């Protein structure tokens, strides 16, 4: 019978949840280590001070190993009572606790009559797997045999350092190989990625193109690749190292791979009969420790193998543990550490999300947990990422899909059930499936955020003078600063444009029907601003996509995704969905032999979901030969010159993009103006600035299409190319060069602004359209126009001011506020929307133009995602107002200002599913017409007015012209 206990406070529930999970995972790790035949006390010594450590592991694992009673008097009954209360509260809140539930069941299992009683210490939780083999005996005979570089006899330094071959110069491998070079070892390195080889050569090493070249004459060969498959390829592939290694050489495998793979590899190496030796030496410590030679290494192998490898291992490690047993033992110890680390990260996420659901300040909870029995190394290290909503990868989530997969695989071999590891593994799989795989592993918290609607972020308070833009990546080399420059001066220094107009050849290629259909995924409706006579889909079922593929006549079409209005995970999921549907539709299409080419049209001021959307495309359609970044847009005064992207202003000055208000965007901010540095910044260093290839102005204007083609053909597989352009002729030259590179078999994913699309399709500009051009009848002209403004960028504010100044006597104005549109009372919102809509209808009916505009004070949230949600909430209110007008009156025209606003007005207020871009209302300002009978007002002219395009007077000029027309 369990005794009653006082009800816990909310913060205590979070600590209790972590205590239960950490105790259960500690027991699972200890018993799995025992089942795998490891020195369990040595595992404890290694892990207690490493990434797998926690307060519960440190204080209870020794008792689980030895069977001795711990000094802590808490019992299984205490743990069960706490977890009962935690789960009861979670049930009341409808909040899922995946790991908490698994821990609860293990505690119950340990208390079952055949195992323990509720009065036994928490360390008896290890009995949930039965009594098994006593670990005390194995520890007592082997605990004294382990050695490490701190506190044990050091390995003698050899009189000559061995020649080293090194395969795998990734984030960790490059630092390790460079450390060996700096310590005097002759090192020959191999990697498939040329920029990594270049960095290694710059560090003083020798770089080669194949593993066999790195292995030739090597006395020690180090393998530091991602997984077992890559390790096998490096060693036994067509250009593998094994055949080139001298007899009696030593192979050190530092990768995290399954212990079973290492054991089978040892047998294969031994079976060659050449005296080759294998050391199993997985590493831990991260990129920084790899670079300064202070890793933790868990090494196992025969005495002769360890002797041969000792100088290399000692050079790389601050803590070198020699694990008793043959090759495979080192990987088994690393596996136990990863079991705990992986469960603890997921536990940190579950507990912080639970804290948010309890209504607690998550940053205050973080501080409290760190001084409690719920603390762990991973909680301390990873939760700050969660609080800052910072998903830049310290360690990618997909790594734990792999590493916990290794735990489950090895556990299956030894027939050991791993309840906690399996639960955590499924959480990481869910995170990977949601598109978070390449982002930080702490991002697994977004599973709970999506399921329950909680927000775990809690940024540190910052002074008013401190920038809060999300561009927080810290590069090894600072980003370059550039001055603002007069546009005329810059253009005067450029070479003359390429003399031959590429457009006739482009149009001929498009008309031939041999090119892939260009499918433009547009993250807001403004991407059509340089096109005409092309269709836009606002829905993307397989049937709709197939119909458009079969019937389009211009060589391509747009799909309006509006993904810039979404959080990153949603944008990634949506892009995947469209690509899957597009793939199916393409296979069914009558034009399936043509294939499709994907363009991700986004903002010319560099805002949007990069690199997430290209990643999403590749996850469905496969790896492209390269990504191309091309943000030039003439109508918006966006130029890229000498790799610097500029935003022009009304005074004829080019301002580096990183110095503009767009770079301070709360959702998509950045600091770099050099596009190569911008790519590095947005990929958080995944793509270095040095690896980015440039198509220069000279390539375009002097070399022409063939030079562009050659640059693209020479780009490294999987690389990134940035495009310089200062005129529409430049864009057409680039487009023709791209088509020639595609004819040579290359496939690219493009992230561009609007100008590229018209250049690639050979669409020539035409004059801005009038109401007469559109066939608006005299009867329809009697009504007023509707102008909906939701954008907050400074240019929009200037344009609204100009409109009010020039048209105030002819204009009815409704100014709405976020505080009314986000009122917690649905009745209040409905009443407010109805009243505003009625006043607008009355004025439009009388022939007066009507402007509905959000208050110009920008309200932001504490995080980038919260700011985006506020924007969406305002847009929803504007949509309801516009819908209320359009259902009751047909305006002379509709103008929507701003990306989110124009998308929602098209799809939700007007109900458009398919529209044609008739042309432009002014340069860079698209004009759509939908004759689809499902549209609320079929045929009404719809102006998609970007927030940051035009002069301060452009909006007023359109309204004036269409009033007189």
For 33-96, what is the HEC assignment? Answer: HHHCCCCHHHHHHHHHCCCCCEHHHHHHHHHHHHCCCCCCCCEHHHHHHHHHHHHHHHHHCCCC
The answer, yes or no, to whether residue 7 has pLDDT greater than 80, is: no
The CATH code of domain 164-331 reads 3.40.50.720
Three-state DSSP at 583 gives helix
Query: Length of the chain in residues, anyone?
Result: 965
402: annotated active-site residue:
no
Higher per-residue confidence, 561 vs 71: 561
For 717-810, strand residue ranges (E) read 719-723, 748-752, 786-789
- Asked whether this chain's domains 164-331 and 485-761 adopt the same fold, the reply is yes
What is residue 151's predicted lDDT score, i.e. its pLDDT?
31
User: 867: pLDDT confidence band, cut at 50, 70 and 90?
Assistant: low
Q: Per residue in 732-767, pLDDT tens?
A: 999 999 999 999 999 999 999 999 999 999 999 889
Choosing from 334, 682, 783, 795, the catalytic residue is 334
Q: What's the confidence (pLDDT) of residue 139?
A: 29
Provide the token pair at 758.
Answer: 């018209």
CA distances for 521 relative to 136, 580, 603, angstroms: 62, 13, 12
Distance separating alpha carbons of residues 739 and 747, to the nearest angstrom: 10
Tokens of 259: 């212990």
Nearest to 181 by CA among 156, 200, 159, 167: 200
Of 273, 201, 197, the C-alpha closest to 242 is 273
Question: Tell me: the pLDDT tens digits for 716-731?
Answer: 999 999 999 999 999 9
| Pair 628, 750: CB distance under 8 Å | yes
SS3 (DSSP) at 123: helix
Domain 771-962 grouped into CATH 3.30.2010.10: no
CA atoms of 175 and 392, how far apart (whole Å): 20
Tally Cβ neighbours within 10 Å of residue 273: 8
Q: What is the average pLDDT score of the chain?
A: 87
Q: Tell me, which fold does domain 485-761 have in CATH?
A: Rossmann fold (3.40.50)
- Peptide bond between residue 611 and the one before it cis (omega within 30 degrees of 0): yes
Span 368-376, average pLDDT = 89
Which range among 282-291, 305-314, 643-652 shows the weakest confidence by mean pLDDT? 282-291
8 Å CB contact between 270 and 291: no
Residue 860 backbone dihedrals phi, psi, to 5 degrees: -120, 160
Read off the tokens for 522. Answer: 């547009």
Q: Work out the number of other CB atoms within 10 angstroms of the CB of residue 52.
A: 27
Which strands, in side-by-side order, build the sheet including 277-280? 206-208, 187-190, 164-167, 220-223, 250-253, 277-280
Query: What is the C-alpha separation between 257 and 275, in angstroms, rounded?
Result: 23
pLDDT in tens, 651-680: 899 999 998 888 877 678 899 999 999 999
Q: Say whether 256 sits in a helix, a strand or coil.
A: coil
Kindly report the pTM of this predicted structure.
0.52
Domain ranges for the chain, please list them: 5-127+334-452, 164-331, 485-761, 771-962
Pull the structure tokens for residue 656. Answer: 């580096």
- At the topology level, CATH places domain 5-127+334-452 in 1.10.1040
């Amino acid at each position: 019978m369990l005794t009653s206990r006082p009800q816990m406070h909310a913060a205590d529930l979070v600590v209790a949840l972590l205590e239960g999970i950490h105790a259960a995972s500690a027991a699972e790790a200890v018993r799995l280590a025992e089942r795998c035949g490891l020195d369990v006390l040595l595992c404890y010594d290694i892990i207690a001070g490493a990434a797998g450590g926690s307060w519960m592991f440190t204080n209870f694992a020794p008792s689980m190993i030895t069977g001795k009673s711990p000094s802590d008097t808490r019992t299984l009954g205490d743990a069960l009572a706490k977890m009962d209360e935690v789960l009861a509260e979670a049930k009341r809140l409808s909040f899922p606790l995946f790991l908490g539930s698994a821990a609860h069941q293990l505690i119950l299992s340990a208390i079952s009559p055949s195992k323990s009683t509720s009065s036994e210490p928490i360390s008896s939780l290890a009995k949930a797997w039965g009594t098994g083999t006593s670990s005390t005996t194995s520890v007592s005979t082997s605990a004294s045999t382990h050695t490490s570089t701190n506190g044990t006899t050091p390995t003698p330094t050899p009189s000559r350092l061995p020649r080293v071959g090194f395969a795998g110069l990734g984030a960790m491998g490059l630092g390790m190989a460079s450390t060996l070079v700096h310590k005097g070892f002759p090192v020959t390195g191999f990697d498939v990625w040329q920029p990594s080889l270049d960095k290694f050569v710059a560090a003083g090493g020798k770089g080669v193109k194949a593993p066999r070249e790195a292995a030739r004459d090597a006395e020690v060969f180090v393998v530091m690749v991602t997984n077992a498959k890559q390790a096998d390829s490096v060693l036994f592939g067509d250009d593998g190292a094994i055949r080139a290694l001298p007899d009696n050489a030593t192979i050190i495998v530092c990768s995290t791979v399954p212990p079973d793979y290492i054991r089978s590899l040892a047998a294969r190496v031994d079976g060659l009969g050449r005296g080759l030796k294998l050391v199993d030496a997985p590493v831990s410590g991260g990129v920084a420790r790899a670079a300064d030679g202070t890793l933790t290494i868990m090494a196992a192998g025969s005495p002769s193998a360890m002797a041969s490898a000792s100088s290399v291992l000692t050079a790389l490690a601050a803590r070198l543990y020699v694990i008793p047993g043959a090759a495979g033992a080192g990987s088994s110890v690393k596996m136990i550490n990863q079991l705990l680390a992986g469960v603890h990260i997921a536990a940190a996420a579950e507990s912080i999300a639970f804290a948010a659901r309890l209504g607690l300040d998550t940053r205050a909870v973080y501080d409290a947990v760190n001084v409690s029995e719920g603390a762990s190394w991973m909680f301390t290290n990873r939760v700050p990422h969660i609080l800052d909503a910072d998903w830049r990868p310290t360690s990618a989530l997909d790594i734990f899909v792999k590493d916990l997969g290794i735990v489950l695989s090895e556990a299956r071999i030894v027939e050991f059930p791993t309840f906690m590891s399996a639960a955590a593994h499924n959480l990481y799989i869910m995170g990977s499936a949601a598109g978070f795989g390449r982002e930080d592993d702490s991002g697994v918290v977004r599973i709970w955020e999506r399921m329950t609607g909680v927000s775990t972020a809690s940024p540190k308070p910052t002074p008013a003078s401190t920038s809060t833009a999300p561009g927080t990546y810290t590069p090894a080399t600072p980003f370059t600063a550039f001055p603002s420059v007069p546009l005329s001066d810059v253009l005067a220094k450029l070479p003359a444009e390429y003399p031959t107009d590429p457009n006739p050849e482009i149009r001929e290629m498009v008309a031939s029907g041999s090119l892939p259909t260009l499918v433009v995924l547009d993250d807001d409706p403004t991407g059509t601003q340089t096109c005409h006579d092309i269709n836009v889909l606002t829905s993307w079922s397989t049937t709709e996509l197939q119909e458009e593929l079969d019937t389009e006549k211009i060589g391509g079409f747009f799909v309006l995704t509006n993904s810039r209005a979404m959080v990153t995970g949603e944008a990634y999921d949506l892009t995947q969905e469209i690509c899957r549907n597009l793939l199916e539709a393409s296979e069914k299409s009558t034009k399936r032999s043509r294939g499709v080419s994907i363009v991700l049209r986004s903002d010319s001021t560099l805002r949007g979901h990069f690199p997430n959307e290209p990643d999403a495309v590749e996850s469905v359609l496969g790896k492209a030969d390269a990504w191309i970044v091309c943000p030039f847009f003439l109508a918006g005064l966006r130029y890229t010159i000498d790799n610097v992207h500029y935003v022009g202003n009304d005074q004829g000055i080019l301002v580096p993009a990183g110095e503009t208000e767009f770079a301070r965007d709360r959702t998509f901010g950045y600091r770099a103006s050099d596009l190569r540095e911008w790519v590095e910044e947005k990929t958080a260093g995944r793509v270095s600035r040095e690896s980015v290839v440039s198509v220069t102005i000279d390539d375009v204007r002097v070399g022409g299409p063939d030079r562009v083609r050659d640059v693209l053909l020479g780009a490294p597989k999987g690389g990134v190319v940035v495009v310089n352009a200062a005129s529409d002729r430049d864009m057409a030259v680039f487009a023709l060069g791209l088509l020639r590179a595609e004819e040579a078999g290359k496939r690219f994913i493009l992230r561009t602004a609007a100008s590229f699309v018209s250049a690639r399709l050979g669409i020539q500009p035409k004059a801005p359209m009038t109401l007469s051009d559109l066939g608006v009848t005299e009867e329809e002209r009697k009504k007023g126009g509707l102008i909906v403004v939701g954008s907050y960028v400074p240019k929009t504010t200037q344009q609204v001011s100009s409109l009010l100044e020039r048209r105030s006597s002819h204009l009815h104005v409704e100014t709405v506020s976020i505080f009314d549109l986000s009122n917690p009372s649905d009745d209040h919102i409905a009443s407010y929307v109805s009243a505003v809509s009625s006043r607008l209808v009355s004025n439009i009916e009388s022939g007066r133009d009507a402007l509905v505009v959000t208050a110009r004070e920008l309200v932001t949230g504490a995080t980038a995602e919260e700011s985006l949600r506020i924007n969406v909430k305002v847009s929803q209110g504007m949509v309801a107002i516009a819908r209320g007008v359009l259902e009751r009156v047909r305006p002379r025209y509709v103008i929507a200002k701003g990306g989110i606003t124009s998308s929602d007005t098209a799809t939700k207020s007007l109900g458009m599913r398919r529209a044609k871009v008739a042309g432009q209302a002014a340069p860079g300002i698209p004009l759509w017409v939908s004759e689809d009978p499902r549209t609320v007002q079929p045929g009404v002219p719809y102006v998609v007015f970007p927030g940051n395009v035009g002069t301060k007077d452009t909006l007023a000029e359109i309204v004036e012209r269409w009033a007189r027309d």
